[in-house]
Amino acid sequence: MSYKSEHERSIQDPDSFWGEQAKRIHWEKPFKQVLDYSNPPFAKWFEGGLTNICFNAVDRHLADRADQIALVAVSTETNQEKTFTFKELYEEVNRMAAIYQANGVKKGDRVLIYMPMVAQACFAMLACVRIGAIHSVVFGGFASHSLASRIDDAQPKMIVTTEAGARGGKAVPYKPLLDEAINLATCKPEKVLIVNRGLIEFTTVAGRDLDYAAERQKHLHDLVPIEWVDATHTSYILYTSGTTGKPKGVQRDTGGYAVALASSMDHIFCAKPGETFFCTSDIGWVVGHGYIIYGPLIHGMATIMYEGTPLRPDAGIWWELVEKYKVSVMFSAPTAARVLKKQDPAFLTKYDLSSLRALFLAGEPLDEPTATWIHGAINKPIVDNYWQTETGWPTLAIQRGVEVMPHKFGSPGLPSFGFNMKLLDDANAEELGPNKKGVIVIEGPLPPGCMQTVWGDDKRFISTYWETIPGKTVYSTFDWGIKDDDGYFFILGRTDDVINVAGHRLGTREIEESISGHANVSEVAVVGIEDKLKGQAAIAFVIPKDASNTATLEAECMKTVDSTLGAIARPGRVYIVTALPKTRSGKIVRRALQAVAEGRDPGDISTMEDQTVLAQIRGVIEQRPPT
């Protein structure tokens, strides 16, 4: 079996290919057809088949893996660590599901989950899909205004939360943010279920707020039957930040998602049942949904939920967990690798990493220096991959479980099965050959696991994703890219981050790569801002490696760009900053940087931390405004 032949089959004969992949999960009732694409661009996968994600992730493993560890919940913030076998996870999920049902939550109802990385968040997600409810996880720490917009869009019957999270050893209040969000929202949830961690004092609202510990005690021995749902039934909504006040709710199905994740665990991650998977993301992001909760559990693996930073109590904590739980596959972000690079290298050799077969990195482009360093430091394969909230699982990756293929620094790889990816000229929609820069698009139908639509707004789904290339109905990734003669894709940056300077089209990624070559640059983000003379001008935000030696850094960065890209690409300003706003998957929120630089409201941004970072950056800009 070769990658090329299997990928071609997944495109040319999706019924055959995905019909085989569907055997990886349990079907209570067989599906009538693999794919219904009678109403493009809406793809319906495995319609008529009845299944349940919770059953596939938990119940079906009880026969053979009841006493195997399923969940490891570790918090270096509160110094707590607890494991749950599949049997114990089954019991906790049933208790949570019983709490839902006792408070009127039923199939199709939405439950908003606003929680840190604690075990109860896992229970809450699995309990939703167990009874056919639709969860919407919002990253713990989102500001009240952003949280309110998600409440109004999802209209949840219940919200599950904690009174606080923790970051860097300090409590981060959640309950006050949630109370303010509910106050701002038009839609008011009937109930708020609170997991009290004992981190802060908080007030409750009589008749609305419920104590999780007390409710759990009421349902200690309850068993809740599986709600078998159609494969096309919505499993969850996950919001992506937008430039407007109304975020996009990515709507995911049930059957297609379970099949895609199960397939990826073999084909991409080469993981094995009974092993341990460690993804350092957060359940508030799509990586956390797929590869902290659902993917590993569906595959019969133990999964680690980690609350904390990679530096607490020290820079060896992740590797300590790898040794202790014999992690075979690890998934993180290039940003985390760059953070660890600044620490004592002894931490990377202190622990036994013999169980670890590969470290996967995604969330932002993986630069060659970072990849080379972390590979040399831990002596393990470093595997890049590329995907989006909308796609739900990697669209570009090396199918390591199918064929041994070379990795190329700077490239996340080749299209995953089912993804018919092309490079198009954004002006005339012509398909481009090797080594030509174009927009990366996916021809329909989108494979299983991808978004069904935008929650409650089919028109927005079509207009946002399928009508951006004139004369072509294709899904736009909104990323520029090239591919080489071997078909490997290279990501050059967002199409909406292209800078048009005096008629010259410049990708922010190209300028960032140039500046990152400076010896004193740890991290860099480049955005284009409005310029009355040139149309747009580039400005750069640089985090230095040595903050005590930045007197000439701006001039040196500009000189570096001059020598590598030419004077036309030279930034108008280089701002020296201490942090950049990021999602938890490591993506820099460039549109927020652009808005602050142009004196605009950054719109729907993620966390309170981001707001603090942007306030600091705003202060730096005000001292030396762009010219």
- Over residues 581-615, the pLDDT tens digits come to 886 656 788 888 988 998 887 766 555 667 788 88
**pLDDT score for 27:** 98
**Ordered structural domains, the chain, with CATH:** 502-623 (3.30.300.30)
**pLDDT score for 184:** 94
Going by pLDDT thresholds of 50, 70 and 90, the confidence category of residue 567 is confident
* More confident call, 344 vs 98: 98
One-letter amino acid of 10: S
**pLDDT score for 310:** 92
**pLDDT score for 509:** 78
Q: DSSP 3-state assignment of 512? A: helix
Q: Encoding tokens for residue 166?
A: 């923790």
Strands (E), 188-257: 191-195, 209-211, 229-230, 236-240, 248-252
**pLDDT score for 410:** 86
> Do 480 and 471 contact (CB within 8 A), yes or no?
no
pTM of the model: 0.86
Kindly state the helix (H) or strand (E) to which residue 214 belongs, with its residue range.
helix 212-218
Mean pLDDT of the chain: 92
Nearest to 362 by CA among 427, 312, 425, 287: 287
**pLDDT score for 243:** 46
* More confident call, 210 vs 470: 210
Q: Encoding tokens for residue 15?
A: 């019924």
* More confident call, 170 vs 364: 170
Residue 29, pLDDT above cutoff 50? yes
* More confident call, 550 vs 533: 550
What is the percent of the chain where pLDDT is above 70?
95
Going by pLDDT thresholds of 50, 70 and 90, the confidence category of residue 57 is very high
Pairing of strands 489-494, 475-483: antiparallel
> Do 46 and 28 contact (CB within 8 A), yes or no?
no
Bridge partners, 439 (sequence order) = 424, 480
Strands (E), 200-355: 209-211, 229-230, 236-240, 248-252, 276-279, 302-307, 327-332
Going by pLDDT thresholds of 50, 70 and 90, the confidence category of residue 341 is confident
The stretch 505-510 carries a mean pLDDT of: 74
The stretch 512-522 carries a mean pLDDT of: 90
* More confident call, 86 vs 560: 86
Q: Which region among 6-15, 209-218, 235-244, 258-267 has the lowest average model confidence (pLDDT)?
A: 235-244
> Do 237 and 136 contact (CB within 8 A), yes or no?
yes
For 495, how many CA atoms within 13 A lie in the half-sphere containing its CB? 20
**pLDDT score for 250:** 97
